[in-house]
Amino acid sequence: MTCIAAPMSYKGSNTTMVDISQEYSKIDTSYAITAKDSLGIRLYQAKGEGYKLNGDEFYYLRRLHRINAIESQANLWLFTSAGIVNVKKNNRNNNQAYVSPTVQADYETRRIYMMGSYQLFRVANDNFDTSKFKAGFSFYKTSYEETQPWFILELSHFNTINKKIEVIPTLRLINKALYFEAGVSTEGDPKLHLMYTF
């Protein structure tokens, strides 16, 4: 449901992220307590297939492993979130407590990016597990002071909320601590993602 970019930068940094689409929206903010650990809170809403979810959660992010090379970097992350979600479906309207782990792996160079994640998200008899894969390339290398454009193709599936795998061609722009994505799924759903670290 969530992992678009790991909200981890440097010790003492704050990261705020916003996602907006027809089926899923969220806002979250986190604080990096170390170079490997971050704590955050998130508010989100999701809807589809007769369901409507409204939730708030606290999460802990841990960078489990990093491989640095001269021209590339690979990371393995573990998100653990706990919260309350209100689930509406037909005449059902109840609040459920949950704990939800997410594993994410990513690899990037200055020209290539790949990411895969899986979130285990179960409440009562509902399975809202979410899987996501992203891959893409930058159009050209830039310096830190310049805006770098990327093309990213995203595939995602949100169990119960979506019957189909979503395919989302996306334009990504990165400038220093500002990270912006805009795309439209093949079903015509526009999606925006904004991340800022300070």
Q: List, in order of start, the domains of the chain with CATH numbers.
A: 14-197 (2.40.160.40)
User: For residue 91, what pLDDT is reported?
Assistant: 87
> 106 pairs with which residues across the strands?
75, 115
User: For residue 4, what pLDDT is reported?
Assistant: 42
Give the mean pLDDT of the chain. Answer: 92
Mean pLDDT of 80-107: 95
Percent of the chain's residues with pLDDT above 70? 95
Report residue 8's pLDDT band, with 50, 70 and 90 as the boundaries: low
Distance of CA 153 to the CA centre of its chain: 14
The residue among 83 and 4 whose pLDDT is bigger is 83
Q: How far apart are CA 194 and CA 39, in angstroms?
A: 19
Mean pLDDT of 161-166: 92
- The residue among 29, 97, 18, 84 whose CA lies nearest residue 54 is 84
Polymer length in residues for the chain: 198
**H/E element, 38:** strand 37-48
Residue 183 has pLDDT above 80, yes or no: yes
Q: How far apart are CA 8 and CA 14, in angstroms?
A: 8
Q: With the C-alpha atoms ordered 19, 20, 24, 29, is the resulting torsion angle positive or negative?
A: positive
Mean pLDDT of 129-158: 94
Report residue 131's pLDDT band, with 50, 70 and 90 as the boundaries: very high
What the block records as the tokens of 196 is 């800022």
Residue 3 has pLDDT above 90, yes or no: no
Output the CA–CA distances (angstroms, integers) from residue 62 to 24, 65, 72, 82, 122, in the order listed: 24, 9, 20, 15, 21
Q: How far apart are CA 67 and CA 192, in angstroms?
A: 30
Residue 194 has pLDDT above 90, yes or no: yes
